[in-house]
Chain A
């Protein structure tokens, strides 16, 4: 059976070149980079190199501004909690968008319980934050704004540059969660005008376990992990050298390849969107039609539920994800689709395809072919579809 992996937002496969770069640090170069003896030398050098590679990917040569973390969730938690607590004597108000990833949303909610105040900026039907809405939410005591660069569920890319123009004018810190975007579209911290940025290697063919938070020089951050002086005292704990090296290698390759990748992914994405929306009735593209991640195609298929589609696609070798409540382990519907104004009924039919560099245009054809009969089958057994047909009798 054909195997088509279209869940790169869950995680990307590891590039062989990245794995090769990592292997020595799971073998002979096992030393601790903090050690003064020779066992520490190679790991230390490799970490320095990785820091430069990651810096280069996001357009900074001040590699000391890169703090390695264990995952994107840690980067986001660190940014929200670390930046906010560092500034709490100035104010306790935080502004984020309504469609942030849970690692930003719940970190901010946690601070709320500790006495901070939180404002959520709405998004439009396409999942776009209006910079003026950010401005409206700023107060005298606002100390931190966090708006994601691109949303992993609907693919929409946010106008971070316009938002940073506002936060800079007001002298308020801006963090952006660039986990879904970094490595997949050009990301430059100076162009974006942000003060802190999260990224994760497993979104661009690096390992899980290798992630980073970039914090602009001069911006104070309180550590999440207290302990030794690793990462300049900002993130204690023995470094996961192999993952950090893998992150660095993946960053170096992404920096060179990002435009080629986009050029490959965009036509595939567009053919999938065209195929599914034209071949199947009542399929809605979610997220911005143009201003979206290159490999991102997300939909709501009306009258049926996402998990059953996901499982049926899996049975024909296709891996996707969904924002339906049945799919989430927490049994909660996607807060992103809710914020975009979709009804529960429509949002339950969420299906998210995230493409990668190993996919082909033939894969897209295969998905479109396999998808139609699955939708027909599930609609045939759907009482919601029945109701729709009865309500529209004579209409179609």
Chain B
């Protein structure tokens, strides 16, 4: 059996909504080349609905397929609905991802959420919390401090190699 199923391959080989939106209402970037995957989502919002979603992704086949799927799932949805998209839902829509890819490459929903947050912050509808998150990929986790790394980022390996 190939590593990626047909649906993942389809989204990887023919990704939907690739690109950048000029004057986007919100931009969300997650990941870092250190982790291996990096995604930037751009959104246009009209009456609290996502009127356009585009992305750019650096990463493996799964990362690209996830980004494409998230963009498709989010398109036309209300902000509230789009915020509810989880990595699990994305993986399910893709009819499964290889186990080792689930955490590291499934950052699309997070990038989309970040873009929505960016929009809400610009609108003055959301406050930013400072000083939290993974130093390698800006992944925000509950108890994360300056030196902690997020679970979805394998920067642990990087740290180990540095030492």
Contacts and interface: CB of A to CB of B under 8 A. Distances in A.
A168 to B, nearest CB: 32
A305 B58 contact: yes
Q: Tell me the dominant secondary structure on chain B's binding face.
A: mixed
Nearest to A304: B58
Given A326-B36, A329-B100, A308 B161 contact: no
A368 B104 CA distance: 31
A326 B161 CA distance: 17
A281 interface: no
Contacts of A308: 12, 59-61, 63-64
A305 B105 CA distance: 12
B56 A383 contact: yes
Interface residues of B, number: 35
B57 A381 contact: yes
A110 B24 CA distance: 52
Given A331-B100, A331-B104, A305 B40 contact: no
A344 B34 contact: yes
Contacts, number: 91
A325 B158 CA distance: 10
15 contacts: A305-B63, A311-B4, A311-B60, A311-B61, A326-B36, A326-B60, A326-B62, A326-B101, A327-B60, A333-B161, A335-B161, A345-B33, A381-B57, A383-B38, A384-B33
Given A331-B154, A333-B157, A348-B36, 20 more contacts: A305-B36, A307-B61, A308-B63, A311-B4, A311-B9, A311-B61, A324-B36, A325-B157, A326-B105, A330-B157, A332-B154, A344-B33, A348-B58, A381-B56, A383-B29, A383-B38, A383-B58, A384-B38, A386-B40, A386-B56
Interface of A: 303-305, 307-308, 311-312, 315, 324-327, 329-333, 335, 338, 344-345, 348, 380-386
Interface of B: 4, 9, 12-13, 15, 18-20, 29, 33-40, 55-64, 100-101, 104-105, 154, 157-158, 161
